[in-house]
Structure formats: C-alpha cells, structure tokens
Structure 1
Amino acid sequence: MTPALPPLGAAVRREFALSDDFLTVNHGSYGATPRSVLAAQEAWRHRMEAQPTRFFAQELPHALRAAAGRLAAFVGADGEDLAFVSNATMGCNAVLRSLPLVQDDEILCLGHVYNAVRNTMRHVAAERGARLVVVDLPFPRPDRADVLAPLDQALGPRTRLAVLDHIFSGSALVLPIADMVARCHAHGVPVLVDGAHGPGQVPLDLSALGADYYVGNCHKWLMAPKGSAFLHARRDRQPGLHPVTISHGFGQGFVAEFDWTGTDDPSSFLALPAALDFFARLGGAALMARNAALAAAGADAMAARLGTEVGAAREMRGAMGLVRLPVEGAASQEQARALRRALLAAGTDAPVNAIGGALWLRLSAHAYNEEVDYQRLTALVETVLANRYPG
C-alpha cells in the first residue's frame, strides 16, 4: 500500500523562502531550497568558521564521505564511486576533458542537448581534431523507437563517447535511458549520462543502469543548496578521470582527486543529508509521482486553453511539461528570450525555447505547487501574448 502524502502545495510553501508575490512554476532551472536545509547548511558553515584548519584537515574528509554515502544510497550506487562537483556541467567537463581523443574521433550527442554541454563538446572536439556528431530526433511527442533508431544508426567505429541526456532541459522529455545505454554498449561505446534533472525527478539505480559516467544536480529536484551536484564513475572508468581543477590529490585516485581541489565552501554538499531527509518527509518516490502527475495535468490544461499541444507523450513526461505557444510564423531564440523576460516582468518564470520552428513553454511542478498555479500561469501567458502579439 502506497503511504499517504503529507499536505502539499500551499500547505508547505512556507517551508521555502519563496517570494509571495511571484508565481514559481520553474523548479527546473535553479530549484528551491527549503528553510530547514538552508539552516543545516548554515550550521556547517558555523562549524567550518569556528576553527577552519581543524575543520578542513580533520572534520571535512569524513563528513564529505558520509554525505556521499547517503547520496549514493539514494541513487543506487557505492559512495566510493561518487564524487561531488558544483554542477552537472562541471561533471561533464571533467569527463570530456579527461577523454583521450585523437584526430577524427567522434563524440555523439542528441539534438536537444543542453547548450553548455554542447559547447564543452565543441571545445574538446576542436582542440583535438575530433568531430561532434549530433543525432536529430523527431519532435514533438517522439516515442521510444523514435529515439533508439537514430541513435543506433549514428553509432560508428569512430564513436569514442556518447553523451546522452536523461531528461532534456529545453524540451523536458524523459528519455528511455536504460535502453539507450544498452544500445551504446552493444556497439562498444562508453556513455556519459547528463542527468542534471534526474535526481529527485525520476527514480535512479545507477548500478543497474550501468552507464560509464552519470552526472546529476542535487539543487534542482532534491532541493539541496545551490552548487551541489555529483559525478558517478563506474569503477573501471575511474583511472585517468580527473577533476577540472588539478590539485594535491593528483594521481591518488578518483575520490582523493575530486574531494580536494582547493579551499572552497563545502557546505552545500554537507547539507545534502538534510535535503534527503526533507525529500523523504514529503513523500520520496510518491512525491516524484505526484509532481509528474501535476505537471502533466497543468500542461494538458494549458494546451487545451491555448488551443495548442504538449511536447511529450505520457511515457516521456516527468515533473516538467512543455506547451506550444500560439504564435504564428517561424520562431527564433530571440523571440523566446523576449517572451521569458516579459513573463518575468509579469510576475512568473517559465522558460521559453524555440524548438522545431515553434515557441514552447516549459512549466515545472514540485511540492509547493498546486493546480491553481497553472491556471494563474495560463492567464499570465495569455496576457503577455496579447500584449506582444495583438490581434
């Protein structure tokens, strides 16, 4: 029997530091950290500043590994295979910049790849004479076959790494990542999964998934403090893998290298157990299912009100929804950015992206949201569109 969820929506909003005069329906960009987790982070900062030398030399190593162990248990991994990084992009950088590439090698990614990671791949490929191969996917509402078939066709003898998103940032599609990893491995190609949106949005079992590398943010759906993310590396892939900053731990192994890259504030990592406790108190797996259902209902209702469509079929939806905006003509990213600025000025934030020649709005659902939020969002969108596109 599934345990009952605690009261959510407006009932828990006060547990966050969110502004009362702003409609928050975008948890996917930067997350929102509960007050109790911020308090735990501040407690760690006080311990650090009480005696910095003692803290960094004697307390931090054990505390960092303890936090890694808690997180590893949540994502289905061994703590010794997990290292902390400041964000998922930094974790992707560590893997890509450690990759031994030569002239005409290929890095493969999917067309909706996150732009910061795309830029990292472009930089690494150009630096070493390699090629970036981008696999285009049909959109909107692709199915499993629409993803796997072009991936199979693009994998080749020069593919040295496939960089696969678990959940696309712009289009919010939840991909069949286990099948994708298996296809790549069948071709002998290692896989880096960019799971920036994975932890806390969808269940994870990294040991079962078997990806060579998986990076994930904790400040988004797990509600940890900003600057909290992880890199999981399979044991056989750890030799030769280095952090972006080379420091005292160089050559001493995966954990030693990543755990100390120089003096920094580690409190965001150390507060992770408090974030995991809060996440569990609000329902854990049941909370994830509730958020996905709420996002789907909100997106469906908005699309019906606007007379448009949603971007994902049911099997590829998570706690974010994508709705096409009723704007005629070919869309541009400049238009998308202008609409997002207009929404911010109107009192809400929902990312807008130009995908496939149309403008698409992404909404999110988390513990503090409820159905009325998406009704308010739709009304604000209608007002902004009427002002920008009269008649």
Structure 2
Amino acid sequence: MKDRVSGFKLSTSHFAKFWLIEPNIIFLNHGSFGACPIPVLEAQQRFRQLLERQPLKFYRELEALLDAAKSQLAEFVGADASDLVFVPNATTGINAVLRSLSFRPGDELLTTSQEYNACRNVLNFVAEMTGAKVVVAEVPFPINAPEQVVEAVVECVSPQTRLALLDHITSQTGLIFPIRELVKELSDRGIDTLVDGAHAPGMVSLNLREIGATYYTGNCHKWLCAPKGAAFLYVRRDRQSLIRPMIISHGANSFRADKSRFQLEFDWMGTDDPSAYLCVPEAIKFMGSLLPGGWSELRARNRSLVLQARELLCEVLGVAPSCPEGMIGTMAVVSLPDDGSGFEKVRSIPVIQDILWERFKIEVPVIYWPAYPKQLLRVSAQIYNKIEDYEYLAEVLPELFKEYDAI
C-alpha cells in the first residue's frame, strides 16, 4: 500500500492560512493540545516585547492587565470575574482544589470510569495522603442516553461522599456529560462538585452560573485557541477562602483588603510569562470573528463537521455509533476492530496512530480504551478542517486493516 491513497488530492481550507499547521499534513487532533491562530500568537509576541522592554513597568501594570483579561473571559464563560483566576492548565486547577481541601479516613471521593487519567491521579494521591476512599461510578460505553451518566453517578453516592470529580466533556470518548443535571443531583444531596471542563470553553456554550458547580476548571488553549499555558479556575464565592494555589508566594500574607486572598494569591505566584493569559481576550475575539454568526456559528459548524466525519467512519468500518448525537460536541470517537482482524494481531508492530502519521501524515489519536485490545479512534473538527480530511482517513483505514489482516 502506498503512502498516499490513489486519487487523493491534498487541499487546504480557506481558514488554514490563519494557523501555522504544516500544510502537507491532515491534522485531526485539535482536541489534544489545541492550535493557536497566527493573529493570537502575534498578540502574544507583542506582550512579550512589552515585558522585555521595561520589565518593572510591565509587572507593575500586570494586575490591571490580568483583571481586564479575566473580565472578558468571565463574560465568555458566564461567571463573575471575581470568582475566576488564571492557571496554566486544567490539571493545575484540579490540583489546587483537591490539595487544598481536607479529607479524613472514611470520606469518599466520587468520580467516574471516564475521568481523565492525570486528574484521576490527583484524586488517588489525595486519597492516599488522607485515608479517603475513591469511589468510581461505571459509566457505560457505548451509551444510549445521557441519563445513564446521572444514574451511574447517583447510584454511587453514600452518606460518606464528600466531593465528586466529574468531566464536563470526556477526553477518551468525547462525551458531553449532562453536567447541570449531575451538579444539581449532587448539590441536592449536599455534595460539592469539582468539574474538569478541560475541553468545554469554545466547544460548548458555557454558563458557569447556571451549571452551579462548586469548582470548575477549563482550558483556554484547546477550543478557545489561546496560546498554550492558559486556563482558568472558578471557585464559588463561599469556598474561595479554602482554595490555595500550588505555589505559595507574596499573596499569602498580603494586607490588601480590596481583593480576596483567592485573587491575590493566584495572581502572583512568582516571575513567569503571563502572555498566554493576556491573549485570552484576543483569542475570543479572533475566533468569534471568523464566521458571520460568531461563536455560535463556529461551534455549530464544527459540530456538524465532526458528526459527518463520525457517520462516514462508522459506515466504512461497519460499526455502530457509540453514543447519541446529543452527547457530541466537536470531538467524536469510532471503534476500531479488536477481534484479531487488525493491528492487535501482531503486538510488535507500531500502533495504528503511529502508522497513520508516519505513512499518511494523518495526525489522529487512537486510544486503547477501556483497555487493550479495544481501540477507539477520536477525530476533532476545527474550522481549518474540511470534510475531505475525513474522507481521506476513511479511505486509508479499511485498506490498512486489510493489509495487516494478511500478516
């Protein structure tokens, strides 16, 4: 089999010119780390130049710049700016919350079987340190309805449940959880919620006030397309005095009364490059300017494209969709063969993700989930993608499985 499928012509989306992504690759993995548009990168470079031209002046003015950026981000995610702080990534936000709270032996920390590995590791660490117990709600997959998520979580609640760590959008399976319903069910039972919203900003319309979570953290570098190292942590007003940053610095003993300690501590944890945070408003503005309908049209366009991609891939692979369309945002997964007819037949060969990249220049994640040999292929859709990208993938996959079935 040749490295390029016969008849395939590489074409470029009209919007690809705004990104630095190499034009000779098929990039279907926006969900992993995002991709920052050139105009936003240029804005970041301007902030960096300001910093280096007069560092003292820049840092004297930094708090006001951060406040302005937080204000615009807060409007975008439906929160009050005083309830948000910047963090480098959602995992840092999860760490800040879980490692600030007090637990004791017998307490139960609830999560689901689809929680992101890095965040699950934080939960495990805290449980080991405090003697608390991690309880895992088994969310079915494939899944028929979002109500199954709620049922699975509620069934695991007990009088000892102190906190629930929940994905808003799962990384491995691309499912949008019914987060408002989950938060309400748990809140009604007196249980605080920590929502891992790493993929949510920019993929779905967010209103943190309506969601009602006690704690919520989300990345800005993924679907919002800010530079790497930009995320936020939301903490409900009545819990802010409990939450401390991972780095303790000057804000810990500040005498200022014009801001909460929550804001003062997170705003300054030592010298670093804050340009990614400051570019969040530029990312919101730029991405919202690409289509006449702004962010609403952008989200709808990307969702429509990923649903088309899922339908196409399911058809060529002869598999059923793993979840209803209502649980899909701008990422979707399809199951790959795991019955001995594909790559798992020969353990020594590279995984399919490597082969797709090395031979066909298709960047798309393949995940052994929930465990080997079951495989999921996850596609993302961003405005620089086009249906031809997925058509090429759909042409490649069946041929690859035929090729390796003969080994």
* Fold match (TM-score > 0.5): yes
CA distance in 1, matches of 2:349, 2:179: 28
- Is the partner of 1:139 in helix, strand or coil? coil
Which amino acid in the other structure matches residue 124 of structure 1? V
Q: Does 1:281 align with 2:289?
A: yes
Q: Please give the alpha-carbon distance, in whole angstroms, between the structure 2 residues aligned to 1:329 and 1:96.
A: 42
Q: What does 1:1-391 correspond to in 2, within 5 Å? A: 10-56=13-59, 58-250=60-252, 252=254, 253-282=261-290, 283-329=294-340, 338-346=351-359, 347-356=361-370, 358-390=374-406
Aligned equivalents of 2:179, 2:348: Cα separation in 1: 32
What is the number of equivalent residue pairs in this alignment? 381
Maintained 8 Å contact 1:12/1:367: yes
Structure 1 consecutive aligned stretches of length 4 or more whose deviation exceeds 6 Å = 334-337
> SS state of the match for residue 284, structure 1?
helix
| Bigger Cα Rg | 2
Change in Cα spacing, 1:307 to 1:374, as seen in structure 2 (3 Å) is same
One-letter amino acid of the counterpart of residue 96, structure 2: A
Matches of 2:340 and 2:129, distance apart in 1? 38
The residue type equivalent to 1:227 in the other structure is: G
The one-letter amino acid of 2:352's match is L
For 1:87 and 1:200, locate their aligned partners in 2 and report how far apart those are by CA, in whole Å.
Answer: 15
- Does the 8 A contact of 2:316 with 2:398 survive in 1? no
Give the Cα separation in 2 of the matches to 1:71 and 1:359. Answer: 36
TM-score (norm 2): 0.90
CA contact (8 A) 1:312 1:322 kept: no
- Determine the C-alpha separation between the residues in 2 that align with 1:318 and 1:337: 30
- Residue 213 of structure 1 deviates from its aligned partner by 0.6
Range that drifts further, 21-30 or 245-254: 245-254
**Kept after mapping to 2: 8 A contact 1:337/1:352:** no
* In structure 2, C-alpha distance between the alignment counterparts of 1:88 and 1:267, rounded to whole Å: 17
CA drift at 1:339: 2.0
Is the CA contact 1:323–1:362 (under 8 Å) kept in the aligned structure 2?
yes
Inter-partner Cα distance in structure 1 for 2:401 and 2:383? 28
Paired residue type of 1:45: R
Give the letter aligned to residue 386 of structure 2: E
- 1:337 shift after superposition: 7.9
Specify whether residues 87 and 182 from structure 1 end up closer, same or farther in structure 2 by C-alpha distance, changes over 3 A only: same
Instruction: State the Cα distance separating 1:335 from its structure 2 match.
Output: 9.3
Q: State whether residues 11 and 368 of structure 1, in contact with CA within 8 Å, keep that contact through their aligned partners in structure 2.
A: yes
- Residue by residue over 1:69-120, the C-alpha shift from the partner in whole angstroms, topping out at 9 and shown as x without a partner, is 0000000011111000000001000001011111121111110110000111
**CA distances 1:279-319 after superposition (whole Å, capped 9, x unpaired):** 21022111111111110110111110111122221110110
Pairwise CA distance, 1:141: 2.5
Q: CA contact under 8 A between 1:110 and 1:164: conserved in structure 2?
A: yes
Partner of 1:239: helix, strand, or coil?
A: helix
Report the TM-score when normalising by structure 1. 0.94
Structure 1 contact 336–354 (Cα < 8 Å) conserved: no
Specify the code of the residue in structure 1 equivalent to 2:353: R
Shift of 1:67: 0.4
What letter is aligned with 1:86? P
- Counterpart AA for 1:93: N
Unaligned segments of structure 2, at least 5 residues: 1-11, 255-260
> Cα deviation per residue 1:236-292 (whole Å; 9 max; x = unaligned)?
110110111111111551110111111110000011111011121022111111111
Q: Measure the CA separation in 1 of the matches of 2:401 and 2:286.
A: 38
Q: Is the 8 A contact 1:336 1:359 kept in 2?
A: no
Distance 1:324 1:364 in 2: 15
Letter in 2 for 1:80: S
CA distance in 1, matches of 2:253, 2:178: 36
Go from structure 1 to structure 2 and tell me whether the alpha carbon gap of 1:251 and 1:311 turns closer, same or farther (over 3 Å shift). farther
Gaps of 5+ in 1: 1-8
How far is the alpha carbon of 1:356 from its aligned partner?
4.5
**Secondary structure of 1:246 counterpart:** coil
Q: For the aligned residues, what is the CA RMSD? A: 1.8
SS in 1 for 2:18: coil
Deviation at 1:336, TM superposition (A): 11
Residue 13 of structure 1: CA displacement?
0.4
Distance between the aligned counterparts of 2:253 and 2:106, measured in 1?
Answer: 29
Q: Which residue of 2 aligns with 1:6?
A: none
Instruction: For 2:102 and 2:352, locate their aligned partners in 1 and report how far apart those are by CA, in whole Å.
Output: 42
Query: Separation in 2 of the partners of 1:165 and 1:335?
Result: 34
